């Protein structure tokens, strides 16, 4: 098997982002720019990826972790110099190396695969991914001879007036034969307007050695969009957002208003789920089949099983099991596990709690740090008083319990199976199995008190 490697250049500073963060760590649709590039090379079957880091190297390494190898470029002396820093990883190997930039998140696996295929089929030494742009300003231009063969790439700043009129541009992405790239990298110099070692110069050097260089022009020039500032960041976000939504729709998800739905890259959604407008689904979220999400729900890093409804609600880092209904206006906070066929109604907040199957928490309730059994009913206005001013305490409610309206459960406290608690009680002690607890003052009625005291309110 031939070896396919990728080198992703990410040492540059990205000044135009006006950011404290490394440019390649800015996110679109929940994923960093460089991760989008990585995902595409991975999808094209790359065996090994080297990221050339420099500016904010530690941050990039921390974000990417050990799924890639790293080369370090101390000073940004140009794209050719950057590739030289990764040389130790491909030296002496057979096969191809792809070179891409960490700031081009729209490139697809399909385009990369197609480039590698054409590169191999034509026995090229290098194959450049190019695009035809109405406004090619700023990009390197592909200079071809009268027979349409690639001659060289000339940088915008070094181009003649004639060359500046060329509309075919260099995307900055290439497939190189490893051995041929190795041969010519050492021959690069920095005699140009920027005093940089241009990777683009390898093309002319290869051709002068009689080696073959090809080009693959992308059909959709969006694919080569490089992100330099926040305006381009938002453009990329829009394009990727649409791509993600289109994919889900093609897989059987109904999205009522794609213009008003935001789904991150790593979200999976089952067939026949309907997403209503204003929904934002982020992080590593998994949604099953036949769910109803929205309108206006935000779900982050959660697992939502089959048949669940999440209406006008927020669910964070939690798991919701089959056929459960959440909302409208519920807030499920991190670390919660909500069982099957549960009902969590309006203005209910659940924090770091386990709720058993078929339990109903229908309105105006707070449940924090609690374990609630199956088939429990928590009445309107129940509050689990989990915080004593110093620390959080746990509450446990068994199966089949009935907790009346406006009950306070002062944690730590335990309510055993099948118990009832009268409305308005403040529970401080354990409630035994099968019992009723009433913890409130008895009602006192003073007959004729109003008339005797002359307190009748006249209209």
> Using CB under 6 A as the criterion, which residues of the chain lie in contact with ligand UD1 when the complex forms?
9-12, 52, 54, 73, 76-79, 81-82, 101-103, 139-140, 153, 155, 169-172, 198-200, 226
- Minimum CB distance to ligand UD1, residue 389 (Å): 51
Q: Which is nearer to ligand UD1, 81 or 343 (CB)?
A: 81
CB atoms < 10 A from the CB of 121, how many? 9
- Minimum CB distance to ligand UD1, residue 70 (Å): 12
Q: Which is nearer to ligand UD1, 34 or 178 (CB)?
A: 34
Give the residue nearest to ligand UD1 (CB). 140
Provide CB contacts within 8 A for 284, sequence distance 6+: 266, 267, 301
**Strand, helix or coil for residue 33:** helix
Q: Which is nearer to ligand UD1, 232 or 393 (CB)?
A: 232
- Minimum CB distance to ligand UD1, residue 225 (Å): 9
Question: Distance between CA atoms of 265 and 242, rounded to whole angstroms?
Answer: 11
Judged on CB neighbours under 10 Å (0-12, 13-18, 19+), 240 is buried
Q: Which is nearer to ligand UD1, 10 or 348 (CB)?
A: 10
Per the residue annotation, which of 26, 119, 248, 363 is the catalytic one?
363
- Minimum CB distance to ligand UD1, residue 200 (Å): 4
- Minimum CB distance to ligand UD1, residue 61 (Å): 14
- Minimum CB distance to ligand UD1, residue 121 (Å): 25
- Tokens 């409208």, residue? 328
**Strand, helix or coil for residue 120:** helix
Provide CB contacts within 8 A for 110, sequence distance 6+: none
Question: Distance between CA atoms of 332 and 361, rounded to whole angstroms?
Answer: 12
Which DSSP string do the residues of 222-283 spell out, in sequence order? GGGPPP-SHHHHHHHHHHHHHHHHHHHHHTT-EES-GGGEEE-TT-EE-TT-EE-TTEEEES
Q: Which is nearer to ligand UD1, 139 or 276 (CB)?
A: 139
Feature table: binding site for UDP-N-acetyl-alpha-D-glucosamine: 9-12, 23, 73, 78-79, 140, 155, 170, 228, 333, 351, 366, 377
Feature table: binding site for acetyl-CoA: 386-387, 423, 440
- Tokens 């890093």, residue? 301
Q: Which is nearer to ligand UD1, 169 or 361 (CB)?
A: 169
Question: Distance between CA atoms of 199 and 181, rounded to whole angstroms?
Answer: 10
Residue 107 and residue 173 in contact, taking contact as beta carbons nearer than 8 Å:
yes
Question: Distance between CA atoms of 7 and 70, rounded to whole angstroms?
Answer: 9
Provide CB contacts within 8 A for 162, sequence distance 6+: none
Active site (annotated) includes residue 363: yes
Strand partners, 70: 51
- Minimum CB distance to ligand UD1, residue 82 (Å): 4
Q: Where do runs of H (alpha helix) occur along 106-229? A: 109-121, 161-164, 178-185, 201-208
Q: Which is nearer to ligand UD1, 11 or 342 (CB)?
A: 11
Residue 319 and residue 302 in contact, taking contact as beta carbons nearer than 8 Å:
yes
**Strand, helix or coil for residue 152:** strand
The angle that helices 33-43 and 109-121 make with each other, rounded to 10 degrees, is: 50
Which secondary-structure segment (H or E) carries 371? strand 370-372
Feature table: binding site: 9-12, 23, 73, 78-79, 103, 140, 155, 170, 228, 333, 351, 366, 377, 386-387, 423, 440
Count of residues in the chain: 459
Query: Which residues participate in catalysis according to the annotation?
Result: 363
């Amino acid at each position: 098997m031939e070896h396919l490697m990728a080198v992703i250049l990410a040492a540059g500073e990205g000044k135009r982002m006006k950011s404290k963060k490394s440019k390649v760590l800015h996110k679109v649709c929940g994923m960093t720019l460089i991760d989008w590039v990585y995902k595409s090379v991975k999808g094209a079957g790359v065996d090994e990826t080297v990221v050339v880091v420099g500016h904010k190297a530690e941050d990039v390494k921390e974000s990417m972790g050990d799924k890639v190898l790293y080369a370090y470029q101390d000073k940004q002396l140009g794209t050719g110099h950057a590739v030289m820093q990764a040389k130790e990883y491909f030296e002496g190997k057979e096969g191809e190396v792809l070179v891409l930039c960490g700031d081009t998140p729209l490139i697809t696996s399909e385009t990369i695969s197609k480039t590698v295929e054409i590169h191999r089929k034509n026995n090229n030494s290098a194959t450049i991914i190019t695009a035809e742009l109405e406004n090619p300003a700023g990009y390197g231009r592909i200079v071809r001879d009268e027979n349409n063969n690639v001659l060289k790439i000339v940088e915008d700043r070094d181009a003649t007036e004639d060359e500046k009129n060329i509309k075919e541009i260099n995307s900055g992405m290439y497939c190189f034969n490893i051995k041929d790239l190795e041969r010519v990298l050492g021959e690069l110099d920095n005699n140009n307007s920027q005093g940089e070692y241009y990777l683009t110069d390898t093309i002319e050097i290869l051709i002068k050695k009689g080696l073959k260089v090809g080009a693959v022009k992308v059909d959709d020039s969006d694919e080569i969009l490089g992100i330099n500032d926040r305006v381009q960041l938002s453009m990329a976000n829009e394009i990727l957002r649409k791509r993600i939504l289109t994919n889900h729709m093609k897989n059987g998800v109904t999205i009522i208003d794609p213009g008003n739905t935001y789904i991150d890259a790593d979200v999976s959604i089952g067939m026949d789920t309907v997403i209503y407008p204003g929904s934002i689904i982020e992080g590593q979220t998994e949604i099953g089949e036949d769910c109803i999400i929205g309108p206006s729900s935000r779900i982050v890093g959660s697992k939502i099983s089959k048949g669940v409804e999440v209406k006008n609600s927020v669910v964070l880092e939690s798991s919701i099991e089959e056929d459960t209904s959440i909302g409208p206006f519920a807030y499920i906070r991190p670390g919660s596990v909500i069982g099957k066929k549960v009902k969590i109604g309006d203005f209910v907040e659940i924090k770091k709690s386990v709720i058993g199957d078929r339990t109903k928490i229908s309105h105006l309730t707070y449940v924090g740090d609690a374990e609630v059994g199956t088939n429990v009913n928590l009445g309107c206005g129940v509050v689990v008083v989990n915080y004593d001013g110093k620390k959080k305490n746990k509450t446990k409610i068994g199966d089949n319990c009935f907790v009346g309206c406006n009950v306070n459960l002062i944690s730590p406290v335990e309510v055993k199976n099948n118990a009832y608690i009268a409305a308005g009680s403040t529970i401080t002690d354990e409630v035994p199995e099968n019992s009723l607890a009433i913890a409130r003052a008895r009602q006192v009625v003073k007959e004729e008190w109003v008339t005797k005291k002359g307190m009748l309110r006249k209209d």
